Amino acid sequence: MISVFNPYDGTIVDSITESNLEDVEEALSILDKNKKIIGNLPLYKRAEILFNTAKLIEKNSENLAISLVKEVGKTIKEARIEVRRTAEIFRLAGEEAKRIHGETLPFDSVKNSENKLGFFIRIPVGIIAAITPFNVPLALAAHKIAPAIAGGNSIIFKPSTLTPLTDLKLCQLLYESGLPEEALKVVVGPGETVGEAIVKDQRVRMISFTGSREVGFNIVKKAGIKKISLELGSNSALILSDKGDYKSCAEVTVKGGYAVAGQVCISVQRVLVHKKVLEDYLNYLIPLVENIKIGNPMKEETDMGPMITESAAKRVEEWIREAVNLGGKILIGGERDRTLMEPTVLIDVPLEAKVIKEEVFGPVVTIIPFESLEEAIKIANDSKYGLQAGIFTDDLEEVFYAIKNLEVGGIMVNEGPSYRADFMPYGGVKDSGIGREGVKYALEEMTEIKTICFNLKGGLS
Ligand code: NAP
């Protein structure tokens, strides 16, 4: 059995049967035998299923939000946003399903192809494995399942064993919406066994994974020849130039640094602040951090809930201690009560400290002062990660310098790195991953191109 714990009070939310390797085999053989069922569904029917799912999510929104609060520990306000986004992702996928098309190919643009005419179409990949992390169970599952359905694919879905309950509810809603049961199978079992068996199986033609860099590396080693899309971690940088609005930047720091107790892949982690505006920025930031209400995530007034487990919170506490031992200062926060970690701001931390170099994945923001934009971008790029970055400046020259030089998958100007709209191309460079999500772009990756060429005896004229 898998027991799912409430991260806030440690009570058991529910216990479910743990899937094993036989369940994986059974799921894959059903999906494999029946993959034509979804592949042959006309596009308007796939769209209908996706639109129906969006409606059912909205109808059950409060129930789903409460379920997220109980198993993830995110606040009810955050959970409602995740549910709204999830419905939106299904709706976007319903729209995109009707826009799957190929292109005509100008064969006579090369020699010896004068008599040829052709085009390509997009066909389903086959079985797609959707493997998801604990922190955003619904919306991240939607980013995989919705475009997979739009593309006519079957899905084996392995949610995180820490937070599988809301995902199981989502699967029920998908079946109710008209998705054939033979097109989606969910298995809830440990990553090291169940996850790895899925990754290695050659009937699975694509792995769509969101999670840690370490597991991402393991997947690449074990997968064999198949498509792989990886949405991994980050230690995102936010840059405040002396020509930027320090108040908005401080507000974005709070919004992006402490959402879901910092357990977001694009959390604001390193804030690079020009020395000329450092004092103004900090004077504005610290009271905002002081005002964050932490506690019971179910209460409407709570701004920040617990971390997922006590061991995760202890790790963050240890990293703060390491930063302080290396000479860093805590400007606010730093204390822990079980899974509740205080929103923390650090400064004067040497660049080799874990809170700067690694992904903190907790409510810790480290301020790094700089003197020139060139220096700031050098520090921002000194990372194995490259998901998103933000810059606050009113100087266009600086904006374009940042666009040209920041090594990331997305740059948010006068906005934080944590900004994401679900239709935009989203993903990282370097160890932050491979490929792009955002419904249209995931759909491109979740289809294969098939090229058709006609040799016309009579020529083209
Ligand atoms: P994780 O430990 O990597 O787990 C993610 C998923 O992989 C879980 O379902 C896990 O199953 C499974 N898994 C573990 N070992 C596996 C293996 N050997 N083969 C196949 N699957 C395996 O990540 P997490 O702690 O849940 O989530 C936090 C991480 O996700 C952070 O690094 C964060 O940055 C990243 N993330 C990235 C994005 C993005 O869009 N780029 C979004 C959200 C989160 P179990 O639950 O059974 O271990």
Domains defined along the chain, listed by start: 2-233+428-452 (3.40.605.10), 237-413 (3.40.309.10)
Give the full edge-to-edge strand order of the sheet including 364-370: 329-332, 344-347, 364-370, 270-274, 237-240, 388-392, 410-413
pLDDT of residue 131: 98
How confident is the model at residue 458, as a pLDDT?
Answer: 82
pLDDT tens digits for range 407-450: 999 999 999 999 999 999 999 999 999 999 999 999 999 999 99
- In the reported structure, the alpha carbon of residue 132 is separated from the centroid of ligand 1 by a whole-number distance in angstroms of 6
| DSSP class of 178 | T
Contacts of 257 (CB under 8 A, 6+ apart): 267, 268, 269, 271, 343, 363, 364, 365
Residue 225 CA to ligand 1 centre (angstroms): 21
Per residue in 276-313, pLDDT (tens digit) is: 999 999 999 999 999 999 999 999 999 999 999 999 99
Distance, CA 374 to ligand 1 centroid (Å)?
34
Q: Whose CA is nearest to atom 8 of ligand 1?
A: 160
Instruction: Report the C-alpha gap between 374 and 421 in whole angstroms.
Output: 29
Q: Which atom of ligand 1 is nearest to the CA of 136?
A: 43
Q: Ligand 1 atom 9: the closest Cα is on which residue?
A: 160
Average pLDDT, the chain: 98
Residue nearest to atom 43 of ligand 1 (CA): 265
Confidence of residue 188 (pLDDT cuts 50, 70, 90): very high
Q: Secondary structure of the chain: what % helix, strand, coil (to 5)?
A: 45, 20, 35
User: 3-class secondary structure for 6-65?
Assistant: CCCCCCEEEEECCCCHHHHHHHHHHHHHCHHHHHCCCHHHHHHHHHHHHHHHHHCHHHHH
Indicate which residue's Cα is closest to atom 26 of ligand 1. Answer: 133
CA of 158, closest atom in ligand 1: 9
* Distance (Å) from CA 18 to ligand 1 centroid: 18
What does the pLDDT look like over 98-140, one tens digit per residue?
Answer: 999 999 999 999 999 999 999 999 999 999 999 999 999 999 9
Q: Tell me the C-alpha to C-alpha distance, in Å, between residue 391 and each of 238, 305, 394.
A: 6, 27, 10
Query: Measuring CA to CA, how many Å separate 365 from each of 152, 210, 290, 323?
Result: 42, 23, 14, 12
Distance 264 CA to ligand 1 centre (A): 12
Query: Is the Cβ–Cβ distance between 288 and 311 less than 8 Å?
Result: no
Q: Closest ligand 1 atom to the C-alpha of 159?
A: 9
Cα Rg of the chain, angstroms = 23
Note whether 385 and 235 are within 8 A (CB).
yes
Residues identified as active-site: 231, 265
pLDDT at 382 over 80: yes
| Residue 457: pLDDT band with limits 50, 70, 90 | confident
Per-residue pLDDT of 61-89, as tens digits, reads: 999 999 999 999 999 999 999 999 999 99
Residues touching ligand 1 (Cβ under 6 Å) are 131-136, 140, 158, 160-162, 190-192, 195-196, 199, 210-212, 215, 218-219, 231-233, 265, 359, 361, 387
Q: Using the predicted structure, report yes or no on whether residue 385 has a pLDDT greater than 80.
A: yes
What was the pLDDT predicted at 380?
Answer: 98
Confidence band for 459, pLDDT divided at 50, 70 and 90: confident
Residue nearest to atom 16 of ligand 1 (CA): 191
Per-residue pLDDT at 322: 98
Q: For residue 432, give the 3-state DSSP assignment.
A: helix
